[in-house]
Amino acid sequence: MTTRSCLSIVLAAGLGTRMKSDLPKVLHEIGGLPMVGHVLKALQAAGSDRVSVVTGPDMPALEELVRKLMPAADCHIQTERLGTAHAALSAKPSLASPVDDVLVIFGDTPLVTSGTIRNVRRQLESGADLVVLGFEAKDPFGYGRLLIEDGRLVAIREEKDATPEERRVTFCNSGIMGFSGEHALSLMEAIGNQNAKREFYLTDAVEIANQRGLTVVAVEGSETETQGINTRVQLAACEEDFQDRMRRFVMENGCTLLAPRTVYFSHDTRLEPGATVEQNVVFAPGVRVAADATIRAFSHLEGADVGTGCVVGPYARLRPGTVLASDAKIGNFVEVKNATFGAGAKANHLSYVGDASVGSRSNIGAGTITCNYDGYLKHRTEIGAASFVGSNSTLVAPVRLGNGAFVSAGSVITNDVSKDSLAFGRARQVVKEGAAGRLRDRLKAEKDAKS
């Protein structure tokens, strides 16, 4: 595609009424990202250099998200909900500037791909004046039918207005449209509201464009990617379709999923070729897993960077700020938060490591805790390279262990330990011969007396 300017108008003013939610509909998440965020990403990848988002009144959270994801985007408020054409014309100030392509897309179609959007734009580049994105429906009931004659889209016929023959058509309207910049504004402004609901429908642009002798065509996308979301049931179905897409993508790019349908991804999960993921793993936002790393079963990762050859889990939790260098190992029932592990460092079981750095080749024994929070502030624990922390140790931050330090099992460490030093932080063991038997006799007597 040659370089062409493109304005995309995202219709996102819908309420979450049918979801029984106070949250604007397009802020409900798919893969850890609000659905409108997926649409914005697809538009950006498809080369849309200008974006205008149509919101409803009192939707500051939506406007804030748009500014965060796409700072150059404009937001326009649709004060009354009078149909799709009325919504698109809420962005009329953006339409005043010359542009080659104008796209109108819904904010609740999070699975639409940049490739499909580019296909719409290719038709505009090839000379079409109006392009409608359609799909082959398994069950077309309720959808507007796209009626094609000699390669031209001649009409969009709604279910209630269709003849029996037209209702047999399975090529349906997705609602996503592309206009040539030359005709976009005049076509939208020509749309009237002579209908039962007295609303302005963007689909009427097809009839108007044909009456003007303009070129009107339809292109095909998949039913899955063009699905809209109005209910929580549809939200869940869309989430599952998103997960299936992600699973297929990572496997086709060289990763192994031992039980694909039990692995859940976020929109930005990055698995490099050669990574292996076992059963029942959840990737929350912000995770990268490098080549040849293994994520074992029942682990949960968020905001974590896992290096080459690492092993995580089973039953491990990596929280935001976790960075594992190559060949590090985080074992079962270990939680790591805002901490770095050097190459080859290990915490194999039953530990919490937070706000810390663990040097290369160091070993964190079972039951170790870094006490990072004093009730008001967080403090860091620094563990040098090739150090050993014995089982059931408590490291009270701020504290530093030098390279090669050795902490004996069961210790409470409150002071720094210098390089190659051995630290004990526990009471001396005392053994009283025969005392256990006498204690049991006393306790039994007390129990018998009470009964």
State the catalytic residues. 349
10 near 106, Cβ under 8 Å? yes
d(CA 75, CA 178): 20
Radius of gyration of the chain (CA): 30
Q: With b meaning 16 or more CB within 10 Å and e meaning fewer, what string describes 372-402?
A: beeeeeebbbbbbbbbbbbbbbbbbbbbbbb
- Whole-number Å distance between alpha carbons of 117 and 205: 19
- Tokens representing 87? 């919504």
Distance separating alpha carbons of residues 144 and 156, to the nearest angstrom: 6
Q: Residue 160 burial (CB < 10 Å; 0-12/13-18/19+)?
A: exposed
- Please give the backbone phi and psi of residue 322, each rounded to the nearest 5 degrees, phi first: -80, 130
Q: Where are the alpha helices (DSSP H) in 222-365?
A: 232-252
Helices (H) and strands (E) in the chain, counts: 10, 35
Burial of 204 (0-12, 13-18, 19+ CB in 10 A): buried
What is the phi/psi pair of residue 179, to 5°?
-120, 145
